[in-house]
Amino acid sequence: MSNANYPWVKNSAETVSGKIGYLEITSPNGTYINGATGTVLIESTAHKTTITHDGITSENKLAPGQKVNLNSQQIIMIDNNSNTFNIYSDSNETWRLHTSGNSNIDIRAGVNGQINLAGNGIYFNGNNIENGGLQGATGATGATGATGPQGLPGLQGITSDILNKLKLATSQISFIINGTGYVGSGWFYYENTNDLVNGYFITAAHCVMEITNGVYYKADVVYIHHPITNDWTKIDANNIYIDGVADVALIKTNINLTNNPECCLKISSIETNAGDTCYIIGNPGGFDEDSISVGCVRDPHYMESGGYQITDSIHITSPGIGGNSGGPIVNTLGDVIGIFTFGLGNYENFGGGSNRVTLLNTLSVLKTLQNNKSKLYLGLDWYLPNPLILRNYYNNQNSFISKGVYIRGISVNSPFNGVIGTSDILLSATITTTNEVIDFGNLNTQRTPGVLIYYPVNTIISITYVKTDKIQRTNNITLNKSYNEVSNLLDGPLQTGLNERVGLNINRNQIQDYT
């Protein structure tokens, strides 16, 4: 049993095992009064052991099985001086420690040794310590660590003022194309105060036109909610101006908003970044006018991998379905960063449309009150190749660049015709007058070839491409064709400009008949 006055006292044998190193046995300061007595025996079981007392090596070298009474080495305290014994082993060693009487001792493992306590344990203040000596006092608090990396920002909210403006500026559009009625979304727009008198309204091109079985149809009946009175207002279909491949339409409503600029939105002047919070406002399914949904920008310069949406686009996570078509995609300032026109498959969170750069490019033409036919005609049908296709264009199939689009077809009217061919990989284009290099692909620094269509006519580019012979080539091409020179059937939503794509599902939201 332990003794409250002398907590290390135990009247039974203890075993202390040590590897090469030492075991230190100390009689602590100030724990004994004059005349205290007790006995401590050390028994060596296997190897020779050397004992030192307060730094002086004893002549006692224990042979295996020999015992030494540490009491004879004056372990008993008679003042406040400490008595310390170090016991060294020449190899793995087991010592048997016997205590009796008032033997108040402290056992410490040396820094070069490994001490394991066994048997019935050693006691301190009545507690059995099975796996080590007495725990020391808590150390001082360490220095403050370096600040960790900043976490991703959460979705930012928009102020009530901006929200009210968005609701004022966005509107339903209802239209009839080829005898069928539909509903969509859009917004009133201006860039300067001179625009306000015209009541410009932007929506998706596929809300006011369609191409079916080789026939181009334009909406002949169009109604828009008046942003001030909320009355349905009929629009003259002759005041609709279209950029088909961008899927953008500008309508001159002649609603005078000179005194109501708060009813109009502007295109953002700030570059959009992946991860930015964004919103889409519209009429999903025709069920909820001015409905707003939040998400973030997946890709501000999205290249649709199938080659259907050829313009520089934006891809977002904000939920949208049929009926949202034509609605604005806005940032937290309430400025437009894109137009919502397409969704991928049946996933409401995988949608987007032409981005702010494309909108600025085409609206500068549409505001002249004409269809955008001056944009450049490329006459290419492409898609993004996977690495199993791309590897066949390089000698080293273990490592090759992730860049380029696979040419699926070329129009005879294409300025590329006769230079590149089908199955070539178009890698990049350099604008010769500025040395601007445009790499094609879907990496962050790459773009769709469709960015070229808004350059001036007769722009000269130097293209780099690779054929199946694995040889890269460079040629100059003059982009001298415009959509004025090709059929209207090639200027529609989700068209490459090569031909009318078959099997496309443009998700117009048909007006429901609840009778």
Give the pLDDT of residue 252: 97
Q: Is 29 helix (H, G, I), strand (E, B) or coil?
A: coil
Q: Where do the domains of the chain lie?
A: 13-129, 157-375+487-515, 380-481
What's the rounded Cα separation, in Å, for the pair 365 and 360?
9
Give the pLDDT of residue 426: 98
> Selecting from 3.40.50.2300, 2.60.120.1130, 1.10.15.40, 2.40.10.120, what CATH number does the domain 157-375+487-515 have?
2.40.10.120
> Do residues 507 and 343 lie in contact, with contact meaning Cβ atoms separated by under 8 Å?
yes
Give the pLDDT of residue 499: 62
> Do residues 191 and 266 lie in contact, with contact meaning Cβ atoms separated by under 8 Å?
yes
pLDDT in tens, 190-220: 999 999 999 999 999 999 999 888 899 999 9
232-262 b/e with 16+ CB inside 10 Å = b?
A: ebebeeebbbbbbbbbbbbbbbebebeebbe
What's the rounded Cα separation, in Å, for the pair 86 and 224?
97
Which residues of the chain are modeled with pLDDT < 70?
A: 1-137, 151-157, 284-289, 321-323, 345-349, 497, 499-515
Single-letter residue type at 480: N
Give the pLDDT of residue 238: 95
Name every residue whose Cβ is closer than 8 Å to that of residue 91 and which is 6 or more positions away in sequence: 20, 46, 47
Give me the half-sphere count of Cα atoms (radius 13 Å) on the Cβ side of residue 388. Answer: 0
What's the rounded Cα separation, in Å, for the pair 135 and 479?
81
CATH architecture of 13-129: Sandwich (2.60)
Between strands 49-53 and 83-89, the pairing is: antiparallel
What's the rounded Cα separation, in Å, for the pair 67 and 61?
10
Indicate the pTM of the whole model: 0.68
pLDDT in tens, 471-507: 999 999 999 999 999 999 999 998 876 765 544 445 5
Beta bridge partners of 240: 251
> Do residues 217 and 208 lie in contact, with contact meaning Cβ atoms separated by under 8 Å?
no
Single-letter residue type at 49: T
Q: 10 Å Cβ neighbour count for 318?
A: 25
What's the rounded Cα separation, in Å, for the pair 417 and 438?
20
What's the rounded Cα separation, in Å, for the pair 316 and 302?
9
Give the pLDDT of residue 13: 39
What Cα–Cα distance (Å) separates residue 368 from each residue in 75, 109, 199, 458?
107, 91, 14, 21
Q: What is the 3-state secondary structure (H, E, C) of 96-156?
A: EEEEEECCCCEEEECCCCCEEEEECCEEECCEEECCCCCCCCCCCCCCCCCCCCCCCCCCC
Give the pLDDT of residue 158: 75
Give the pLDDT of residue 416: 97
Give the pLDDT of residue 342: 86
CATH architecture of 380-481: Roll (2.30)
